[in-house]
Each structure stands twice: as structure tokens, then as C-alpha cells.
Amino acid sequence: MSIRPIPDGYHSITPYLMINGAAEAIEFYRRAFGAKELFKMDAPGGKIGHAEIEIGNSRIMIADDCGGESPFSNPQSAGGSPVGLHLYVEDVDAVFAQAVSEGATVIKSVKDQFYGDRTGALNDPFGHRTHLVSYNPQGRIVAR
């Protein structure tokens, strides 16, 4: 019997977000991006020790910041996050508007890009950046 190194339903790399308010973040991602909660393990003190959500066909792992016990911290305590999520959606304008109505703040408004895609960028209420994109292969400029 062989052991699979990557479990079913996972890709080779999965974002893991440390959040100050993981339960609220899961609800935000559900309302803003249609996320489904797959798993949640509570930690002492009413925090989330580990949770997994799925947006489209991709999983994201989420946990509350554990403070000094962990080498990871949330964007607020770390002074910002250098990581952004790149999220492909069917209708970037509709999803962007939904996320803003749920509390995201606009970094860059949605617009057509020179390479053909239509994109916008947001900060979610928990300090993580999301680049929303509707892919348009017909509009792409191919380098020669």
C-alpha cells in the first residue's frame, strides 16, 4: 500500500492565514467570496486553533494568532502582510462590490488591464490583501 503525500482535495501549496478574529474572518469570506467552512477545531479561550475553508476549488487554512507560542502573527500585530491572495472569479465586478459591502476596503478599483484581465484589489477587514480577477485569455498580450 502506498502513502499519498498530498491528501485528496488539497493542492501542493495551501495558504495559511493567521488572523485576529478567525471566526469573524470565516464569516466574512463566506459572505464576500462564497467560502464554505470545511473544518474547524476550537482552541482554549474561544479561539480557533485551525480551520479550513474552500473558495471555488481551493482551500485556505485559518487560525487565530496564538501570540508568542507561534512563529506566525496576524497582519495587525506584524505591521502589515506582505502576502496577497489571487482569487479568480466569474464576475469580478459583482464579487468586488459584495466584498466591499461586507467591509473590505478598496486598494485598487476594478478595471481592465493592458494584458486583458479585469482586476481589482482589496484589503479584507483582517489585514489580508485579495486581488480579484476575471481571466480573459482573448485579451492577453503575448510577449514576442
CATH number for 11:
3.30.720.120
Looking at the structure of the chain, the number of domains it has is 2
What percent of the chain is helix, strand and coil (3-state, nearest 5)? Answer: 25, 35, 40
- Single-letter amino acid code for the residue at 84: G
Q: Are 115 and 140 in contact (CB under 8 A)?
A: yes
The CATH code of the domain that includes 143 is: 3.30.720.110
- What pTM value is reported for the model? 0.81
Which pLDDT score, from 0 to 100, does residue 144 have?
A: 40
Which of 67, 97, 112 terminates a domain? The answer is 67
Which pLDDT score, from 0 to 100, does residue 50 have?
A: 92
Bridge partners, 112 (sequence order):
118
Q: Are 129 and 109 in contact (CB under 8 A)?
A: no
Name the residue range of residue 99's domain.
83-144
Residues of the chain with pLDDT under 70: 1-3, 5, 68-71, 82, 139-144
H helix and E strand count, the chain: 3, 8
How far apart are alpha carbons 135 and 88 in whole angstroms?
A: 7
- What's the pLDDT tens digit per position in 3-37? 676 778 888 789 999 999 999 999 999 999 999 99
72 domain-assigned: no
